[in-house]
Amino acid sequence: MTTTILGLKTCDTCRKAIKALPEATFRDIRTDPLSPQERAALLEQFGDALVNRASTTWRGLPEEERSQDLDTLLAKHPTLMKRPVIRNGDAWFLGWKADTQKALGL
Amino acid identity at 3: T
- Mean pLDDT for each consecutive 10-residue tract of the chain (106 residues)? 92 95 95 95 94 92 92 93 94 95 92
Contact 82, 49 (CB under 8 A): yes
58: exposed, middle or buried (C-beta count within 10 Å: 0-12, 13-18, 19+)? Answer: middle
Tell me the catalytic residues.
11
The CB-side HSE value for 24 (13 A sphere, CA atoms) comes to 24
What is the value of pTM for the model shown?
A: 0.89
Quick one: pLDDT at residue 1? 67
Quick one: pLDDT at residue 72? 93
User: Strand 25-28 relative to strand 3-7: parallel, antiparallel, unpaired?
Assistant: parallel
The CB-side HSE value for 80 (13 A sphere, CA atoms) comes to 26
